[in-house]
Amino acid sequence: MSRNVLYSSDLIQPNRPGVPGFFMIGMVAEVDAAVRREGLTGIQTVFGMHLPPTPWATVQEALKK
């Protein structure tokens, strides 16, 4: 069974409490670029050292802003 989960190490981190979005959006963009470069598809959830399981769509939406 495929889980469609991506581990992002510590590159994707939420902002401090009360501040929406992600810390250092440039690092978030690096993860997105790696996903595209490697042709990874179907990702539903991303998690990392400082990131609880988070919908990949939430990350994509943050990158659009």
Written as one letter, the residue type at 22 is: F
User: Average pLDDT, stretch 17-39?
Assistant: 93
By the 8 A CB rule, do 44 and 5 touch?
yes
- 19-23: average pLDDT: 90
What pLDDT score does 50 carry?
A: 92
Q: What rounded mean pLDDT belongs to the chain? A: 92
In the chain, the amino acid numbered 19 is: V
pLDDT of 19: 86
Query: Residues 33-46: pLDDT tens digits?
Result: 999 999 999 999 99
Rounded to two decimals, the pTM is: 0.86
Q: How far apart are CA 13 and CA 42, in angstroms?
A: 21
